[in-house]
Amino acid sequence: MLEGGRLMELLELMKYRRSIRKYQDRQISREDMERLCHRM
């Protein structure tokens, strides 16, 4: 369990975290999809 100060740090990080992603409108090739699935 997190101590009080650590919990506040975690909550602050979660509050201000920003994810920036660029998505492309194209399909994933079957070869790439199979490669990804085999790594899981």
Spatial separation of the C-alpha atoms in residues 12 and 20, rounded to whole Å:
18
In the chain, the percentage of residues whose pLDDT exceeds 90 is 10
In the block, tokens 């909550």 appear at 11
Say if residue 6 is exposed, middle or buried (CB neighbours under 10 Å; 0-12, 13-18, 19+). Answer: exposed
Close Cβ partners of 2 (under 8 Å, ≥ 6 residues apart): 10
Does 39 score more than 70 pLDDT? yes
- pTM of structure: 0.36
Confidence tier at 1 by pLDDT (50, 70, 90): low
- Band (pLDDT 50/70/90 cuts) for residue 38 is confident
In the DSSP assignment, the letter for residue 25 is S
